Amino acid sequence: INEQIDKAIALKPDLVTISVGVNDMNNKILPKTFSRNLTFIIEQLQKETNAKIVINNLPDFTSSSALSRTHRSLGKLIISRYNKAIEKVASDTDVFFIDLYSQSKVYAKHYPELIAEDKFHPSDFGHALWANTIMTSIEQHIFPKSR
């Protein structure tokens, strides 16, 4: 809000993608506060731009072997709360929602190389798969090719 929204509006974008939540989780921002902030961001973008707005939920990063079973369970719970907030804000503000969480669970079963060497962050390949999921959804639903 403090560093990026004015810059984004000044660019007069046609498309805005919003992928947020992990830093809020790490900073222990309550989902209610996160939801309020996200709503503010989207409403400002809708008011000040003509951009199509796309938001994705958080991917599932709890399959990492760096996490204990307890941390995996806790992580799933926290991600679930944030993802519910993201999906509700997307619905309430009428922006296009991409379910990256479900897709990331599919990817994790087939591509163990999704996780970087630190066993927590996504690898370059993991980022590429997530970006492809987002771009494919945008292409299919926001800017479909004329047939």
pLDDT digits (tens, 9 = 90+) for 36-59: 999 999 999 999 999 999 999 998
**145: DSSP letter:** P
Write down the pLDDT at residue 55.
97
Global confidence as pTM: 0.86
| Inter-residue contact 16 to 45 (CB < 8 Å) | yes
pLDDT interval class at 107 (50, 70, 90): low
What's the whole-number mean pLDDT along residues 87-92? 98
DSSP annotation string for 41-77: HHHHHHHH---EEEEE-----TT-TTS-HHHHHHHHH
- Provide the pLDDT for residue 73: 82
